[in-house]
Amino acid sequence: MTNERLIIETRALELFFPRKYRFTKQQDAEMILEVGVKTQSGTVYQLRIEMEADYPSSLPKVFIIYPGNLRDYYGNDMLAVSSIMHTMQGKNGFPQICHIWPSSWGPHRSLMQVAMKARIWLEAFEAHKITGKLLNLYLPENKNTII
């Protein structure tokens, strides 16, 4: 990510997640963004958004790293790919959530949008934890939908 892009991303994140995010650069030029999110119910989550060195050209991955051992309504872990739960293959014990179709991703998208989509996923997940209804009932499958 260029310094100019980092400034743009930081300004947008500061508007919606003030002082609740942190960027770190990995040795392999990969960039990590961690964002703290509090849902309407007051539950606190921590997201880990991983970006390849060519970000914003490549789609970032979003993992839920806190709380650990995330389970669905039925007690199953959230590490498997599931279209009805909007999850991708987890990594290191952390579930990965689907936030946008890869074909809809491009440099015109932002990390703030990714974090907001993750927040929407978390709200749907909390409703699922209460009702047992699958996330695909709460989240649209529109390939072009993004905040």
pLDDT digits (tens, 9 = 90+) for 33-86: 999 999 999 999 999 999 998 899 999 999 999 998 899 999 999 999 998 899
pLDDT category, 142, cuts 50, 70, 90?
low
What per-residue confidence (pLDDT) applies to 10?
A: 94
pLDDT category, 146, cuts 50, 70, 90?
very low
Q: pLDDT tens for residues 103-131?
A: 889 999 999 999 999 999 999 999 999 99
Mean pLDDT across 4-18? 92
Cβ 46 vs Cβ 66: under 8 Å = yes
What per-residue confidence (pLDDT) applies to 147?
A: 43
Q: pTM, whole model, 2 decimals? A: 0.90
Quick one: what percent of the chain has pLDDT higher than 90?
Answer: 71
* Strands (E) located in the chain: 21-25, 31-38, 44-51, 61-66, 87-91, 94-97
Q: What DSSP character marks residue 69?
A: S
Q: What DSSP character marks residue 43?
A: -
- Give all domains of the chain, ordered by start, each with its CATH number: 3-137 (3.10.110.10)
